[in-house]
Chain A
Amino acid sequence: MRRSKIKVVRWISIAYVEFIRGTPLLAQVYLVYVGLPMLTQLNIPDFTTGAIALTIHASAYISETMRSGIEAVPYGQSEAARSLGMNSRRTMLDIILPQAFKNILPALGNQFIGNIKDSSLVSVIGIAELMYETTTVRGTTALGLEPIIVCSLIYLVLTLTLTRLLTFIERRLKSSDHR
């Protein structure tokens, strides 16, 4: 979107990305939590607002990662595809995106791991995610450290699984890099 030829689209997407990157996630979570029901006059479940906030946040970062990945593909690739008669959509789908995706996979992986961890923040609006439950357990059992350790371990299992999966995909995609 930031690469769009239409000025308004470009401005809006730049503003969006800059806003999300320039403000804390915590503020964004509150903003959606408080702002969205006001704007829409609807009674939105807490879980939905939390998910919306996280999605808005993550997509700004992911879109930036994708943009850098697309721009890192040499211009000659697109010219070669176009000169073979491929239209711009075909060129993007078949030639540019596969190469861009491969370039950004490590960055995208970090992003996802960050997202999983970021999700702990929505506990502030009372969503019963892991961190929230941890606090509850601590409150009811008077255990100090243990629930937090358990909680961290669960996060670790989630992120490690993801890391392994990503390493696997990366290795598959690297098959064209070796002599």
Chain B
Amino acid sequence: MITVKHLYKSFKSHEVLNDINCTIHDGEVIVIIGPSGSGKSTLLRCLNLLETPTRGSIIIDEQDITNQKVNIDQVREKMGMVFQQFNLFPHKTVIKNICHAPIRVKKMKRGDAEQLGMDLLSKVGLRDKKDVYPITLSGGQQQRIAIARALAMQPTAMLFDEPTSALDPEMVSEVLAVIKDLAKEGMTMVIVTHEMGFAKEVGDRILFMDGGQIVEENTPEELFHHPQHARTQNFLSKILH
């Protein structure tokens, strides 16, 4: 379980997160929506400490990860992250992209790591791409590899920051399908996306953010069909039409 309490984040004097509070239960899929610049990425990046919060706490399984004494690398091992730009390692083949961290960080045996890597490649439907370099792959394929790479660390939760925004439209669904599979398996996930249909389908709960705050949170059904706040209504009317 992840609990965020009174989280603030500023860049210089620019306040980007302003008193964020939320709880993410194990196995839950949270989808964050909101206008550009509302702080969605920043919140996500705070959850694995790619950004250091200015104030407040993030408690993961009873450990406050904002505490100075916490080993950041160990926190990140447990928290997979998938980026908009895939960020595969261009100098490594697909299987090495996936196996590198398990071998180097988790000290997994090479054979075991490769077995795990092949299982994950099957899961994302790219077994035959094992030995190619990322540059030879389409965007959708690269993103599926990036998901496999994050899963290889066997994280307890996954963070997705607009995983399909950099993709050509025809490749969006193949990536969303992989994420939906993960949801079915009960993976805890926090997903920032502009794909409202997907949000509705996969999300257990939707958080609507605006101006660095969580303005409204609810089930997809309620939030999309009966938004309570004017700002939510305004945003949805713009994005759904």
Chain A residues close to B by CB (< 8 Å): 74, 76-77, 79-87, 90, 94-95, 98-99, 102, 175-179
Chain A to chain B contacts (Cβ below 8 Å), 7 pairs: A76-B83, A76-B85, A77-B89, A82-B76, A84-B100, A102-B91, A176-B90
Q: B50 touches which one: A82, A86, A87, A94 (CB < 8 A)?
A: A82
Interface string of B129-164 (1 = CB under 8 A from A): 000010110000000001001100100000000000
Q: How far is the CA of A85 from the CA of B49 in the complex (A)?
A: 11
Residue of B nearest to A95 (CB): B89
Nearest Cβ distance between residue A97 and chain B, in whole angstroms?
Answer: 10
- B136→A83 contact, CB < 8 A: no
When A80-B83, A177-B135 are in contact, do A86 and B91 touch as well, CB less than 8 Å? no
Chain B residues close to A by CB (< 8 Å): 48, 50, 73-74, 76-77, 79-81, 83, 85, 87-93, 100-101, 104-106, 133, 135-136, 146, 149-150, 153
Most buried by A among B48, B85, B101, B133: B101
Q: Which of chain A's residues have a CB closer than 8 A to the CB of B91?
A: 98-99, 102, 176
- B135→A79 contact, CB < 8 A: no
Q: B83 touches which one: A79, A85, A86, A99 (CB < 8 A)?
A: A79
- A85→B133 contact, CB < 8 A: no
Residue of B nearest to A79 (CB): B50
Nearest Cβ distance between residue B41 and chain A, in whole angstroms?
Answer: 11
When A76-B85, A79-B87, A80-B89 are in contact, do A86 and B104 touch as well, CB less than 8 Å? yes
Q: Which of chain A's residues have a CB closer than 8 A to the CB of B83?
A: 76, 79-80
Q: A77 touches which one: B87, B93, B133 (CB < 8 A)?
A: B87
When A84-B153, A98-B91 are in contact, do A90 and B48 touch as well, CB less than 8 Å? no
Q: How far is the CA of A98 from the CA of B100 in the complex (A)?
A: 14
- A86→B73 contact, CB < 8 A: yes
Nearest Cβ distance between residue B94 and chain A, in whole angstroms?
Answer: 11
Q: Which of chain B's residues have a CB closer than 8 A to the CB of A175?
A: 133
Q: How far is the CA of A179 from the CA of B135 in the complex (A)?
A: 7
- A86→B105 contact, CB < 8 A: yes
- B85→A85 contact, CB < 8 A: no
Q: How far is the CA of A94 from the CA of B104 in the complex (A)?
A: 10
- A76→B73 contact, CB < 8 A: no
Residue of A nearest to B89 (CB): A95
- B133→A84 contact, CB < 8 A: no
Q: How far is the CA of A170 from the CA of B93 in the complex (A)?
A: 18
Q: How far is the CA of A102 from the CA of B89 in the complex (A)?
A: 13
Q: Which of chain A's residues have a CB closer than 8 A to the CB of B90?
A: 99, 176
Q: How far is the CA of A176 from the CA of B136 in the complex (A)?
A: 9
Nearest Cβ distance between residue B97 and chain A, in whole angstroms?
Answer: 9
Q: Which of chain A's residues have a CB closer than 8 A to the CB of B100?
A: 84, 94
Q: Which of chain B's residues have a CB closer than 8 A to the CB of A74?
A: 85, 87
Q: Which of chain B's residues have a CB closer than 8 A to the CB of A177?
A: 133, 135
When A76-B83, A79-B50, A99-B90 are in contact, do A87 and B73 touch as well, CB less than 8 Å? yes
Most buried by B among A74, A82, A85, A102: A85
Q: How far is the CA of A134 from the CA of B35 in the complex (A)?
A: 73
Nearest Cβ distance between residue B160 and chain A, in whole angstroms?
Answer: 12
Most buried by B among A80, A86, A90, A178: A80
Residue of A nearest to B90 (CB): A176
Q: How far is the CA of A175 from the CA of B93 in the complex (A)?
A: 10
